[in-house]
Structure 1
Amino acid sequence: MSSTDIRATAKAVLSATFLTPHRVREMGLTRHRLAAQVAVGALWRVRKGRYVTPDTHPSLVEAARYGGRLDCVSLLAALGVFVRERPGSHFQFTPGTTRLPVRPPEVIAHWRFVEAGDDALTADLLGALVQACRCQSPRDAIATLDSAWHHGLIDEADVAEILRRLPRRFRPRRALLDARSESGAETLMRLILVELGCRVDVQVELPGVGRVDLIVDGWLIVECDSRAFHEGWTAQVRDRRRDLAAAALGYATIRPLAEDVYYRCEEIVSTMKEILSWGPGRLQDSTDPVPLGRAR
């Protein structure tokens, strides 16, 4: 999704609320008419005195049925913010709440107070991001914050507030955040390269090439490819022409797969160490992009 689409989705999801008995009365629905609306599926009863419309996001409905609000990585994924696939559903529950339905093992409960109304179907965004930083690895948490910032859901002041709410040990991560990162894979690849001691420039515009994801140590272009933007022959033609244009400027190009960055990190680190040890001279002898994982 584009940033515009993600912001629109976030506005709709974060503003979703129950229809309470008071709201139902304001709509002019008597008890009999309310029952009729539920019977024909025009409204769904999720709990006693709590109703939603059929177009409500399924994850919100699930959270509501258990007496909670969508939270943490589950909420962020529903908004289109990057989170790596995580099992289970993360719901927020208000401390002291009683008579809740029995939750299945795959529901992860976060018992905390939130800055959301009693009829809200989601936790507040900043609270969800704080919780997601606690629930994810440091690298994944940085990628999530980068994503939310890049898409315009938070700004620099929000980042400062999120870090203020977290334990002090999280604060050094501020230096690793970069709102220019356009994907989770790009952030995670950048963090790998930084840990290897590289100088990494993000989203660089090159004449005749266009914008590239990362330039490492001034000579190596790293493009983090995913199926969404690089599938099909047309995309391959475009990418190969860009790589040739970059080679003409003196750059070598590699294209690690996003799924390998996510799930084969050790192999990516090992291969990057080998490629970087060559230096610019050896790779620039070829105008072809180096296939990551087979660089020998």
Structure 2
Amino acid sequence: MPDVIRLISMDSGVYSTKELHRGGLTTWQIRREVDIGSLVALRHGWYATPTADPDVVSAVRAGGVLGCVAALRKHGLWVPPGYRRVHIRPTRHGELTTRQACRTFGPTPRALAAVDPVPIALLSAARCMTAEHWIATCDSVLNTAGLSVAQLACEMGRPPKHILALMERCDRRSQSGTESITRTRLRANGFKVVVQPQIAGVGHVDLRVGRLLLECDSVTHHTSLENYHNDRRRDRRALVDGWLTMRITYDDVLYGWTGVLADIRAITRTDRHRTTPSALKTVE
């Protein structure tokens, strides 16, 4: 598996015997580390340090590995709220002590580490997440790793047709989960959405519907005074050039979407967004 798919250093503090051997420890040394408390035996063939990640420890003790949505979050990818439980993927040889297992598609993959790699975790997550949430997380994978949809599909092995269909709706240009969800929902409602267009005098914006510019802010987005002033300057310039700007917050997308969609429809019904400003000619 290429290094590009290993998005962050995933040292959870939980290791298989094979990993410890690769790290230079002999079987005798492993036993000694257990005896002195530097390692804790979780189950046959798996060990943890005293400061190991508790979610990963729970998953391995239960007979599997940390997978699905929980693994994606550990890899630093964008995951929407509502998926807080420990997601455990069964392994080929482990016997699960819980019924809350997250399975992938096809044959059960080998346990390469205590935390599933991104392609396996993403496949499993398709069973647990809604379609739009999965698309947003897949966008995060594509954007962070710099992969194309075809490259990611190859890393997954042979994803089923319905997963490939979801991947065709993904876009690695997306800069945030809220942007991904907004794009997906608007297109599902029949809007023609342009992703990350370059607007003269303004720069890149998240989304464009006609001459309506949509900026989808994350929870931590634009918290500094410098960013605040820069956003207002961009909005002012856009308005002068004939664009309309709508800023959508994280809470708007996840908890107030009905109102957001109603506002966008209200603007588009007046045809104000269809009037072509002179600046549009420079970006199309």
Q: 1:90 and 1:49 mapped to 2: Cα distance?
A: 21
Q: Residues 277 and 179 from structure 1, CA distance in 2 versus in 1: closer, same or farther, beyond 3 angstroms?
A: same
State the alpha-carbon separation in 1 of the partners of residues 153 and 13 from structure 2.
24
Higher mean C-alpha displacement, 21-30 vs 204-213? 21-30
Give structure 1 stretches of 5+ with no counterpart: 285-296
2:133 aligned counterpart, secondary structure: helix
- Give the C-alpha shift of residue 204 in structure 1: 1.8
**What residue in structure 1 maps to residue 138 of structure 2?**
145
Q: For residues 30 and 70 of structure 1, do their structure 2 counterparts lie closer, same or farther at Cα, with a shift above 3 Å needed?
A: closer
Secondary structure of 2:145's counterpart equals coil
**Correspondence 1:173 to 2:166:** yes
Tell me: CA distance 1:232–1:171, structure 2 relative to 1, closer, same or farther (3 Å).
Answer: same
Residues 213 and 111 of structure 1: is their aligned pair in 2 closer, same or farther, counting only changes over 3 Å? closer
- Give the match for residue 282 of structure 2: none
What secondary structure, in the 3-state scheme, does the structure 2 residue paired with 1:239 have? helix
**1:242 is aligned to 2:239:** no
Contact 2:70 2:86 in 1 (8 A): yes
Q: SS of the counterpart of 2:172?
A: coil
Letter in structure 2 aligned against 1:92: R
Contact residue 10 and residue 115 of structure 2 kept, 8 A: no
- Partner residue, 2:153: 160
8 A Cα contact 2:91 2:109, kept in partner:
no
Structure 2 stretches of 5 or more lacking a match?
277-284
Matched, 1:223 2:215: yes
Letter in 1 for 2:212: L
Q: Given the alignment, which residue of 115, 128, 135 partners 2:121?
A: 128
Larger mean Cα displacement after TM superposition, 222-231 or 259-268: 259-268
Alpha-carbon distance in structure 2 between the residues aligned to 1:199 and 1:76: 30
**Corresponding position of 1:64:** 60
Per the alignment, do residues 128 and 5 of structure 1 end up closer, same or farther by CA in structure 2, a change over 3 Å counting? closer
Residue of structure 2 aligned with 1:43, choices 24, 35, 39: 39
Q: What residue number does 2:87 align with?
A: 90
C-alpha separation in 2, matches of 1:7 and 1:94: 20
CA distance 1:210–1:134, change in 2 (3 Å) = same
TM-score (norm 2): 0.79
Percent identical residues:
29
Shift of 1:224: 0.3
User: In 1, distance between residues paired with 2:151 and 2:187?
Assistant: 25
What corresponds to 2:281 in structure 1? Answer: none
**Is 2:26 the counterpart of 1:26?**
yes
Residue 227 of structure 1 aligns with an amino acid whose one-letter code is V
Post-superposition Cα deviations, 1:43-96, rounded to whole Å, max 9, x if no partner, equal 333235531234544432221121210111111111122221214211111366
Give the equivalent residue in structure 1 for 2:260.
Answer: 268
What are the equivalent positions in structure 2 for 1:271-282 lying under 5 Å apart? 271-280=263-272
Change (3 A) 1:153 1:126: farther
Contact 1:6 1:80 in 2 (8 A): no
What does residue 176 of structure 2 align with? 183
Q: CA deviation at 1:199?
A: 2.0
Query: Aligned residue for 1:213?
Result: 206
Amino acid at match of 2:262: S
Contact 1:94 1:111 in 2 (8 A): no
Amino acid aligned to 2:90:
F
TM-score (norm 1): 0.77
Equivalences, count: 268
